Amino acid sequence: MSSIKHQPLLAWVVGVVLFSILCAHAISPDPGAIRKSVSDGQLLAQATLRPIPGTVAAFGLGWRLTPHAPGYINAPPNNLRIPPVPKPTPLIVPVPKATPAYKYTFRVLAAHPEITGRYDEIILTNSLRHRMDPRLVKAIIAAESEFSNEALSPRGAIGLMQVLPITAEELGVPRSDLHDPQANIRVGTAYLERLYRAAWKQYRLKGVKYQDAPLWVVERIIASYNAGPRALTRNSFMRQTRNYVRKVLLFYRSDVSEFRRSPKRTGGSFLPPRADVLP
């Protein structure tokens, strides 16, 4: 008896489904017409993108997908943070040019290799130990003290590489030893390596060899040796610091930074860098 009662209902459901299918088939456009409309650009001109709730909004992209009339230019909202295009890092000294005073100093030092070459073995040995460019170490010595072991700055920096006593003590060398060329160059080279490590961390240069450092990084390391570690992240420098960087770069390229002695204990052969590595 129950099956007889449900038969009219089942027939009615089947009829509604068949009627829906027939209607959908009757009003559906011809596939060829759809392709023609797309190729003619009619559908593309009328198409609008609708935002997907909760998904694109989470990435700040909802403003790009809101529907508008054709030809409407949709600007981003004011609260959207678009990352700026990174600018090239400027050089402290784009083109180091020698002044007449610099040229005179270069000529005097270059004419006395017995002065500029007396510490070559110490410089090379400590540069290898700390993975530093020995020409750069020698150029810093030339700029800091002009190879005078008795040099003393108004700020209390001592010796060939003008090392501050507090820096020497941090690296395990007492103040009284800073007039010893071996100790002074050892501390100065170790401090230079510390600046390199700080620059590699600051600018995420992991995997880049020290000798492959970009010039703008090398210039900031040189500036930091003169003005302190904070100079690593600066883009503006005092004239004294700019002059110091210029002087080191010029010494680096000159004959003053040539090596005439080889270290006795290096564990292998060593070839000093060419003078044209830095500009």
Question: Catalytic: which of 114, 121, 144, 150?
Answer: 144
Rounded Cα gap, residues 233 and 258, in angstroms: 31
* Centroid of chain to Cα 127: 24
SS3 letters for the chain? CHHHHHHHHHHHHHHHHHHHHHHHHHHCCCHHHHHHHHHHCHHHHHCCCCCCCCCHHHHCCHHHCCCCCCCCCCCCCCCCCCCCCCCCCCCCCCCCCCCHHHHHHHHHHHCCHHHHCCCHHHHHHHHHHHCCCHHHHHHHHHHHHCCCCCCECCCCCECCCCECHHHHHHCCCCHHHCCCHHHHHHHHHHHHHHHHHHHHHHCCCCCCCHHHCCHHHHHHHHHHHHHCHHHHHCCCCCHHHHHHHHHHHHHHHCHHHCCCCCCCCCCCCCCCCCCCCCC
CB-CB contact of 119 with 261 (8 Å):
no
Residue 144: active-site member: yes
Rounded Cα gap, residues 252 and 218, in angstroms: 12
Residues paired with residue 163 on neighbouring β-strands, in sequence order: 158
Cβ neighbours of 37 (radius 10 Å): 15
Catalytic machinery residues: 144
